[in-house]
Structure 1
Amino acid sequence: MDVRLVHNIAPFVDASDFLTSVVGSTCLKDILGFTSLLVEKVILHKHLHYYYYYYYYYYYYYYYYYYYYYFYYYYYYYYYYYYYYYYYYYY
């Protein structure tokens, strides 16, 4: 499972794709994605409550990623639940 799939869920992270393809750092992409999320959700003043709710599940996903081989089917259940919940509230 490619870790970068979690970034494709959030369309506001895609703005940092060009820079991170040059640098080649997933950590930098996380920082840039968080910055663009901060600009969209805080400066534009919309869905501030779900902004924190989204990042709670974002790091929750990474916790289960390291136990991916043991909780393989359990992980996919929570992944698609998160994907549905994200698009249900943002689109």
Structure 2
Amino acid sequence: MSVDAATVRRIAHLARIAVRETEVPHLEGELNAILAFVEQLSEVDVEGVEPMTSVIPMEMKKRADVVNDGGIPDDILRNAPQTQDHFFLVPKVVE
């Protein structure tokens, strides 16, 4: 895949990046170099290689999925401007 000047301008527009016309040829070369490297990676034989999340084997830390009130509901309610019956009180916004 090759990137031309029009594609560079389109990418810059989509990314909301201001690119001067004098920068377009340089960016075109940079993007083509990146894509060439990605194409090189597709040539690597990865048959039988397991995906990994780290260079050293390790287990992901997990916690129990338990619903609770955090143990400090009174502290949390103290942050609210208004409360009623141990709930946040908010102004009515829909009639």
Provide the TM-score with structure 1 as the length reference. 0.28
Name the structure where helix makes up a greater proportion of residues: 1
Bigger Rg, structure 1 or 2: 2
Name the structure where strand makes up a greater proportion of residues: 2
Provide the TM-score with structure 2 as the length reference. 0.27
